[in-house]
Amino acid sequence: MLDEIIGRTAIASNLWCMTAKLEVRFKKSVPIGAPLKLKGTITKQTNRLIEGRGEIRLADGTLAVEATGTYLRIPGVQVAQFQDAMGGWRVDE
């Protein structure tokens, strides 16, 4: 989920990319079936790389899991293929 939220945060800003590295830190147990809130943030951009941060919070706002990731920008010729594959997803603020 954290890889997706960081990657989709980048894509929502028209920064098409794919995962190169993801580091995850578990702080609390995440109960099965409980509501969660995910958030992604882009922290750095270069011509070739994007860095981001993601988090999962429990219903009470407690930070349960956090991740940092490095993503490679996708060459322009491949962006159309990725756009087709994404279908009808959307970003909620």
71 pLDDT band, cuts 50/70/90, is very high
pLDDT digits (tens, 9 = 90+) for 16-27: 899 999 999 999
Residue 91 has pLDDT above 90, yes or no: no
Q: What is the 3-state secondary structure (H, E, C) of 42-91?
A: EEEECCCEEEEEEEEEECCCCEEEEEEEEEEECCHHHHHHHHHHHCCCCC
Tokens 């790389």, residue located: 49
Rounded to an integer, what distance in angstroms lies between the CA atom of residue 36 and that of residue 58?
Answer: 5
75 pLDDT band, cuts 50/70/90, is confident
Tokens of 23: 């580091």
Return the sign of the alpha-carbon dihedral for residues 44, 45, 51, 54.
Answer: positive
